[in-house]
Amino acid sequence: MRALALLPLLLGVSARAEAPLDDLLQRLGEAEERKLAVPACRTVEHSVTEELDKEGKVKGRLTRSYEVTRSGTTVLTRKRLSQKEEGDLSSQLKAEPKDPPKNEDDKARLSPFHPRARADYRFDSTPGPSEGLVTVKFAPSKSDKKRMKGQAVVDTRAGKVMTLRISPSDMPPMLDELQMDFLAYTETPCEWQPTQMKIAASGGLLLYKLRFRTEVTVTGHQKVDGPGTATGAH
């Protein structure tokens, strides 16, 4: 009987414990909506890709810069500004980046925190790694090659993602590993944006394996209001 009497209190404690995560997810979703509400954003992407041998030593390096204009999750234009090749590089790494088609459904490319995508994911949070921060882990309810799993370190006061690590919830064929780390975010004219990323991947056929890592820095954010117009820079 005593346990039954305590049940409403325990349920109340459980509900209050879950409320902060629900509130945080809502704030993160609002931040994603503000970011995607920007008509378009023009940036300069500088990348350094290194191909590695079996021992993990660098066998080739590709350095590139692009001017990229995005609207939401869609790349409108990509203009190469510079390129430098060093050492031995596979043709796959030297190929031009392939951006998703403009007419492709963008829901799979949305952040898990976006209100349109959130219902497709499970979330859990733990305190830390330091005061004022929490680690939010997420995974799709059903594994999907197009949907990511991972974790974000979030500033609970600001309601902002500070770092993010993601990988496919279902690894695509011919890929053994793919991990993307968003190491730094900055307030820009295009809202709160990732500005430093690392990518590590390996895969291929039995007799041919490709292993590489890429570091990307994004600068010069400009809000594009219409054709040929841009405001702000960071």
Q: What's residue 99's pLDDT?
A: 85
Average pLDDT over residues 40-55: 96
Query: How confident is the model at residue 10, as a pLDDT?
Result: 43
Instruction: Using the Cα atoms of residue 139, residue 141, residue 143 and residue 144 in order, give the sign of their dihedral.
Output: negative
Domain of 160 in residue numbering reads as: 2-231
The predicted-structure confidence for 90-101, as pLDDT tens digits, reads as follows 999 999 988 887
116 vs 209: which has the higher pLDDT: 116
- Domains in the chain: how many in total? 1
* Phi/psi of residue 217, nearest 5 degrees: -120, 130
**Which tokens in the block code for residue 65?**
């810069």
pTM exceeds 0.75 for this model: yes
Give the pLDDT confidence score for residue 104 in this predicted structure: 60
Pairing of strands 209-226, 191-204: antiparallel
Mean pLDDT for 39-66 is: 97
CATH code of 51's domain: 2.50.20
Output the CA torsion sign for 118, 134, 144, 92.
positive
CA atoms within 13 A on the CB side of 12: 5
Residues 101-127: what's their mean pLDDT? Answer: 87
